[in-house]
Amino acid sequence: MIFCIRIKLRMNIHHVLFFCFLSALQDGNTGLVNAINLFAGAEGGNGSIICSLTSSGSTKFFCKGKCKEEDILIKTDDVTAQSGRYSIRYEDGSSGRKIVTVTFTQLTKSDSGRYRCGLGGSSAPDAYTDFDITVIDAATLGQNTRFIRTETEGGNITRGCSNTVYGSRKFFCKDECKKEEDILVETEENRAQNGRYSIEYREGSVFGLSVTITQLKKSDTGRYRCGYGRASSPDSSYTFSIFVVDAISEVSRPGYFWPLVVFLLLVVCVAVIVVLLAVVLLLLYKLKKRRNSGLNTRGTSDSRNMELSVIYENRPPVSMYEDSVYQSLDPDSRDPDQTYSALTANT
């Protein structure tokens, strides 16, 4: 019985640990896959967000916040639709992907928040993408009036230098790229690094040339340029903007909640294991106590039998004749003939 309980306990703990591992892994992966993109837009500007989806559906939707009925901005079965300052467009992308593009015009500070675009119903969508928008003063983004991808302080970023034509000299610079301090990296090598900034050329890659910034700071916010030739007078270049926000802003991204979820799951699993161990130990204790109680009872019974046997053995022997006479003279006997015959036998 104890052996069976131990096996069952071992199996239960293994099952619990396996469940915890899968749950943690699943939540971890969910957090990584569904990490929400952050975008910044200038107040008064316009911007479009592209939602690339794998599933198909006839209904396209675009909503804000919790996406309840009152939060739906656009819901349509048409290819395009518009509602006030918002519009939506659907098209088939490459590799079977479905593209839903949502556009904001005349951005206001109240447009900041969480959004979702996708296919199907907003409450139970077939496919969707979540993203955050932060609307800031136009002066902060300079001449950029469209959405730019928002990065977080302490993170890393790599951008490909799109639509550029190869040249032996490569560069990576910031802002006007006129001053010496604006030039971050300039080299004729295929790879070069200067502190937190690096540039790399890979033949056959999608972009060919790419640039990287590590350990992002808020001061890294600005416009950048990378390409071939000299930074001050490039032969071919690509311009992009970076907007860096405080790392605490990442807390609003569900994808970054997974370590907390994993921790909570592990706490629950440990608690379950402790309860299982406590229950099994209690059962083992009761079984042991019951076994000891049985042994004590049997021992007491044996000792009593031994005592009775000793008393019986010490009793003086009585003849069968005396017993029969004594029984015959028993005044409770109601058979006079039996009594008489017994007396006659004594003479």
Q: Report the CATH fold assignment for 37-144.
A: Immunoglobulin-like (2.60.40)
Q: Give the pLDDT of residue 316.
A: 53
Cα 292 from Cα 225, distance rounded (Å)? 84
Does 17 have pLDDT greater than 70? no
Query: pTM to 2 decimals?
Result: 0.48
Sheet holding 98-104, edge to edge: 47-53, 98-104, 86-92, 80-83
Domains 37-144 and 147-252 share a fold: yes
Per 3-state DSSP, the chain is made up of helix, strand and coil in percentages (nearest 5) of 40, 35, 30
pLDDT tens per residue across span 255-284: 434 445 456 667 777 888 888 888 888 888
Residue 187, pLDDT > 60, answer: yes
Q: Which stretch of 39-53, 81-95, 143-157 has the lowest confidence by average pLDDT?
A: 143-157
- Cα distance between residue 181 and residue 171, in whole Å: 13
Residue appearing with tokens 């957090």: 31
Give per-residue pLDDT as tens, 71-83: 999 999 999 999 9
Indicate whether 164 pLDDT > 50: yes
- Find the mean pLDDT for residues 220-246: 90
The domain defined by 147-252 carries CATH number 2.60.40.10: yes
Q: Break the chain into its structural domains and give their ranges.
A: 1-35+257-293, 37-144, 147-252, 322-347
Average pLDDT, the chain: 75
- C-alpha closest to that of 137 among 280, 243, 281: 243
**Maximum average pLDDT range among 126-135, 195-204, 288-297:** 195-204
Please compute the mean of the pLDDT values over residues 123-142 and round it to a whole number: 81
> Please, which residues have CB within 8 angstroms of residue 185's CB and are 6 or more apart in sequence?
170, 171, 172, 192, 193, 194, 197, 198, 199, 211
DSSP H or E stretch at residue 206:
none
Which of 10-14, 193-197, 323-327 holds the top average pLDDT? Answer: 193-197
Ranges of beta strands (E only) in the chain are 37-42, 47-53, 60-64, 72-76, 80-83, 86-92, 98-104, 113-120, 125-136, 148-152, 157-160, 170-174, 183-187, 191-194, 197-201, 209-213, 222-229, 234-245
Average pLDDT over residues 5-11: 46
